[in-house]
Every structure is written in structure tokens, then in C-alpha cells.
Structure 1
Amino acid sequence: MKTIIIGSLVVAAVTFAACNNSSTNSHEGHNHDTAATAGEAMKQETTPTDNSVAAVKPQFTNLDAKVAASLKPVFDHYLHVKNGLAADNSAEAASGSKAMSDALGKVDKAAMTPEQQKVYSENEDDLKEHAEHIGKNEGNIEHQREHFAQMSEDIYALAKAFGGGQALYHDYCPMYNDNKGALWLSEIKDVKNPYLGGKMPTCGSVKEVIQ
């Protein structure tokens, strides 16, 4: 009996350590230049001793008001998807993704500068694809989470470039996908993990806040 108890404690300790292990490889496998650049910047971060979160500003400071207004619903519906997955609610995740698809079709690209159009175009098709998959897979939450992980890479790239219309926290889960890890964005500083849901809702760490 003592052996079983000790073994269980060891497993729990390893799991907790993995969850709290900070990792800088959250962008592995993402091919967009903007995300790669953001990943390099994240690797150079140092963890503040007071546990504060590093604040970063978006790349584009000359954003047209029409562009910002048309992008805001994209981020809002992404957060809808995130919150649905965090609550283990596949139907809400699907609903948010369908709304996100509609919002992507209304983004005002004509009001963007050529440089802004380039960044947006690098991520647009992937976002549409992942939103479509999540929207069509109500009831298959693990498949939704697979696409959400990839969607989050593209949303992160857009947030770093354009801002999200509000403060967005860049969170990271080191345990998802066989400990390969995955990022997500959140409107709140408290960690609510969309990949592990109710199993480990607070697993993860806050890397930065995009303001």
C-alpha cells in the first residue's frame, strides 16, 4: 500500500512540475514570418522577479480606425471559442467559430497599408480554415482543440501586429499535445486553460500582455 501511495505522489508531483514549467517553444511548427519573429522576441524575455507580466505594444501604430473596428469582432469571437473550450463546451466553441468566420469576411483590408495587408494575408486563410473546422465539429472537442492550437498561432500574430482592441494576455500550456505545448490569448490575467478544460483548468503561465 505504501508503494502505491508513494507512486501516486510521484506522478502528481511530475504532472504539477510539467504544468508549471515555463517554456519558450510555443511557436513550434508555425511557418508565418510574423509568428516566428514574435517567437524570437519571446525567447529573449526574462522572467521578472516580482511575477509581473511583460507588456508589449502592437507593431502598427498607424492603424486606421475602420481596420481596428473590423478586426475587433474577430478577436472577440476567438475569445468566445477559447472560453467555450475552457468550459469543456463544444457547442459554444462551435458557435464562436461560426461567428468568427463571419467576422473574418468583413475585415476592412482596403483600409490597410500594404505592410498591414501582407501580415493579415499571411494569417487570413489559416484562420478561416481553423474556424470552419471548429464550427463543423461540435461534439468532437479534442479535434476542436487541435485546430484551436493552430488558430491561436495566427491570432497571436495578428494581435502582435494590430492589437486586439483590448488587453490580451498571451498564455502558454506546456502539457498540451504530449508536452509539445500550445499558446492561447485571453482577456483575463487568470489562467483558464482551453486545452485541458476541467481536468487542469489553471495549468499554464502568462507570458506577456499585448496592450
Structure 2
Amino acid sequence: MKKILLSSVLLAVLVLGCNQKNKEEKTTEGQVIVKTEEKYSCPMHPEEIGKKGDTCKECGMDLEPVKQAEAGDTKVEITEVSDAVKASVSTDAIIDAYLKIKNALANDDGKEATKAAHDFAQAVSATKTDKITKELLTKYLNITDEAKAQAELIVSNDGKIAQQRMYFAVLSKDITNLIATFGTNKKLFQDYCPMYNEGKSGYWISELKEIRNPYYGSEMLSCGGMIKEIQ
């Protein structure tokens, strides 16, 4: 009777084990190894994907496990919006001013970033909003008010480029939200540096297909990769 009971318990354990999401296999010692489907990518070129043990084709670095999304990540999904929404407001001047800040930081030029951030605030103030629908106007004002605040922080931190880059990361999220909501007629790219701030806020928008990292400048100018082409 005891043997039958033990056999039933063992069978139940085996059934539970077979229902696990991850595949398992036994070693000769009876130990269980869990096979995961973990993805690997290059820390400097996140578009280079492979398996454990592979190296990056761009720089030769070992691929590392892809980090799971965490609270605080600032990636924003950009999808196509209607022509009517695009026509309700022209974001071109705002985006152009943002790109000047991005390029200044990529060139390690904090002074130019300060000037560009000042011009950015003016571009936001000069943009006409009379054609934006009531439903979208509140969202537009929330995004641009936050963006102007970050630009002002970049200005007030003239001479402190590390701080300017920190505020630029938040500004980049605002600009990405603006594009995601109202679209753009420009050909742009959404880029990402997994090294900056532990990968939590290393996103930016660029007009260049070539990677020019605004978070590290000449220190690691080509670090990162393009994650989405816009337009």
C-alpha cells in the first residue's frame, strides 16, 4: 500500500514538472537543468542579437543577456497617426530645435546645448495650436510644458554637461511622446543606448541613420543602435 502511495506522489510530481513553461532535462547525476530562452545582445549595439557565446559583428564584444523592461524605462512606442491629427499642429520647428540640442551634446558642446535649449523653448512658444482638437490640446500642453521645463533645466545647468544630458533624456521622452501623438513629416530615427543610466533612459530621436550618441559624446560616440525608423 505504501509503495502504491509513493508511486502516486512521484507521478504527480513528474506531471507538474512536465507542465513548467521552461524545458528541463536531467543530467547523469539526476540534477535538473532549466533551459531558458534568454535573448542576448551587444551592450553597445543592441540591434545585434544572438545566443549565449556569440560576439557582436560590429565591435567583437561578447553578447550579454537582454535586460527585461523595468519601471522607469522611457521607451515610447511610436505608431502612425492620421493625416488630420498631423495637420492640426506642425511640430517641425520644435523637433528641429530638439535636434540641435541632441547634436550639441553629441559634440560635447555644452555651451551650444545651452543656446539650443533656449531656442527650443522659444520654438514651443511660437508654435500655433489653434487647430488642435480640444481632446488633444490638453495632452499637447502637458507634453510641451514638460519639455520646456527640461529645456530650461538644460539652460540653467550651463557648464555641467552631465546634468544637461540627464535632463535631455527626459526631454527626449517628451519629444517622442509628441511624435507618437501628433506624428511628423520628417524622416527620423528612434535610437537607444543600453549603457546610459543602466538602459533605463538612453533613448533619443535623431535625423541621422548613423549613431551619434548624445549621452556619451566622443567617449562612446557610436554606442547604441536604431530601434525604429519613423516615416
Higher relative contact order (CA 8 A, sep 6+): 1
- Mapped to 2, the partners of 1:162 and 1:149 lie a distance apart of 20
Runs (4+) of structure 1 exceeding 4 A deviation are 22-28
Indicate conservation of the 8 Å contact 1:60/1:161, yes or no: no
- Mapped to 1, the partners of 2:111 and 2:186 lie a distance apart of 25
Indicate conservation of the 8 Å contact 2:86/2:183, yes or no: no
CA deviations over 1:16-60 (Å, ceiling 9, x no partner): 932223568789527xxxx78x44x7xxxxxxxxxxxxxx52x24
- Mapped to 2, the partners of 1:181 and 1:109 lie a distance apart of 29
For residues 99-118 of structure 1, the aligned pairs below 5 Å read 99-118=119-138
- Mapped to 2, the partners of 1:150 and 1:27 lie a distance apart of 16
Match of 1:82 among 80, 99, 102: 102
Select between 111-120 and 194-203 the one with higher mean Cα deviation.
111-120
Indicate conservation of the 8 Å contact 1:171/1:207, yes or no: yes
Residue 46 (structure 2) aligns with: 21
Indicate conservation of the 8 Å contact 2:169/2:201, yes or no: no
Structure 1 residue 61, shift from structure 2 partner: 2.0
Indicate conservation of the 8 Å contact 2:190/2:226, yes or no: yes
- Which entry has the higher C-alpha Rg, 1 or 2? 2
Residue 202 (structure 2) aligns with: 182
- Are 2:84 and 1:62 aligned? yes
Select between 102-111 and 113-122 the one with higher mean Cα deviation.
113-122
Unaligned runs of 5+ in 2: 1-40, 48-65
Structure 1 residue 203, shift from structure 2 partner: 0.5
- Are 2:171 and 1:151 aligned? yes
Structure 1 residue 121, shift from structure 2 partner: 2.2
Unaligned runs of 5+ in 1: 1-15, 42-55
TM-score, scaled relative to structure 2: 0.67
- Mapped to 2, the partners of 1:81 and 1:184 lie a distance apart of 11
Across the two proteins, how many residue pairs are aligned to each other? 173
Residue 4 (structure 2) aligns with: none
Match of 1:166 among 182, 186, 206: 186
Distance of aligned partners of 1:126 and 1:165 in 2 relative to their CA distance in 1, 3 Å threshold: same
SS at match of 1:126: helix
